[in-house]
């Protein structure tokens, strides 16, 4: 390095190419040289920029601007090269911004479209319903589980008092209470229960009132 002209140390200092002694010498020079401080501030992003420039582009830039072979290492980059790199950087930023915006918009649209699907409860393996002459409606969704069957009950115009229960009868004649609830003033109910009886073994489902009288029966084929 030319010790009498520390301005030439800027390029090497910028990319970390100075040894400890030269770094200390240039930092001392920075304290008294406003021009070098301004140049350093202007070019401080250059190392990161150079990292994203593909090697073929860097070679092409060098050839286009006829950069002479350096006999002294790490001199400050020519202004033309810096201008070209800055232009490419701005163009790259715009392209990335457009791409990121498009991807974000696509993800948002996908999220809006998929949201209802993702939030939709699992579909039951079987659904049955029955309506009695007095207007009672009972729908039962059955979902197959490893431990048995999940039973989802949805009813309207149900008995208005007492404790109601849903019973599952298997094909061997056994029965199991899947769920029970207190009658509601509106006559509506939505409740989920469970039974250890496997779905394939369910023969019927019965809604019983507080006296254990069957008020609705669904036969499972």
Q: pLDDT at residue 140 above 50?
A: yes
pTM of the model: 0.47
Q: What is the mean pLDDT of residues 16-45?
A: 78
Tokens at 108, concatenated:
């948002």
In whole angstroms, what is the distance from residue 181 CA to residue 166 CA?
A: 9
The residue among 107 and 45 whose pLDDT is bigger is: 45
The residue among 113 and 172 whose pLDDT is bigger is: 172
Per-residue pLDDT band for 57 (boundaries 50, 70, 90) equals low
Per-residue pLDDT band for 54 (boundaries 50, 70, 90) equals low
As a three-state string, the secondary structure of 154-182 is EEECCCCCCEEEEEEEECCCCEEEEEEEE
Beta strands, E only, 61-162: 126-131, 137-145, 148-156
In whole angstroms, what is the distance from residue 59 CA to residue 93 CA?
A: 21
Q: pLDDT at residue 55 above 70?
A: no
- Angle of the 79-119 helix axis to the 55-64 helix axis, nearest 10: 150
Longest dimension (CA), the chain: 108
Between the alpha carbon of residue 64 and those of residues 57, 61, 139, 144, 206, the distances in Å are 10, 5, 78, 71, 87
Q: pLDDT at residue 178 above 70?
A: yes
Specify the pLDDT at position 196: 95
Q: What is the mean pLDDT of residues 94-121?
A: 51
In whole angstroms, what is the distance from residue 110 CA to residue 195 CA?
A: 38
Q: pLDDT at residue 146 above 80?
A: yes
In whole angstroms, what is the distance from residue 124 CA to residue 205 CA?
A: 16
The residue among 116 and 206 whose pLDDT is bigger is: 206
Q: What is the mean pLDDT of residues 158-175?
A: 94
Domains and CATH numbers, the chain: 6-95 (1.10.10.1320), 126-219 (2.60.40.200)
End-to-end CA distance of the chain: 94
């Amino acid at each position: 390095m030319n010790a009498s002209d520390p301005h030439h140390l800027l390029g090497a200092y910028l990319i970390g190419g100075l040894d400890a002694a030269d770094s200390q010498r240039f930092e001392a020079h920075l304290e008294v040289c406003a021009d070098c401080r301004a140049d350093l501030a202007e070019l401080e992003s250059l190392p990161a920029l150079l990292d994203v420039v593909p090697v073929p582009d860097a070679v092409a830039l060098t050839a286009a601007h006829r950069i002479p072979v350096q006999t002294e290492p790490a001199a400050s980059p020519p202004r033309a090269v810096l201008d070209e790199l800055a232009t490419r950087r701005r163009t790259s930023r715009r392209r990335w911004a457009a791409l990121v915006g498009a991807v974000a918009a696509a993800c948002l649209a996908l999220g809006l479209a998929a949201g209802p699907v993702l939030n939709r409860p699992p579909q039951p393996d079987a659904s049955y319903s029955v309506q009695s002459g007095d207007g009672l409606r009972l729908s039962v969704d059955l979902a197959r589980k490893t431990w048995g069957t999940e039973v989802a009950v949805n009813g309207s115009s149900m008995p208005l008092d007492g404790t109601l229960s849903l019973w599952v009868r298997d094909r061997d004649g056994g029965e199991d209470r899947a769920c029970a609830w207190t009658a509601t003033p509106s006559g509506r109910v939505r409740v989920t229960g469970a039974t250890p009886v496997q779905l394939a073994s369910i023969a019927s489902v019965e809604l019983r009132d507080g006296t254990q009288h069957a008020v609705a029966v669904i036969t499972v084929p």
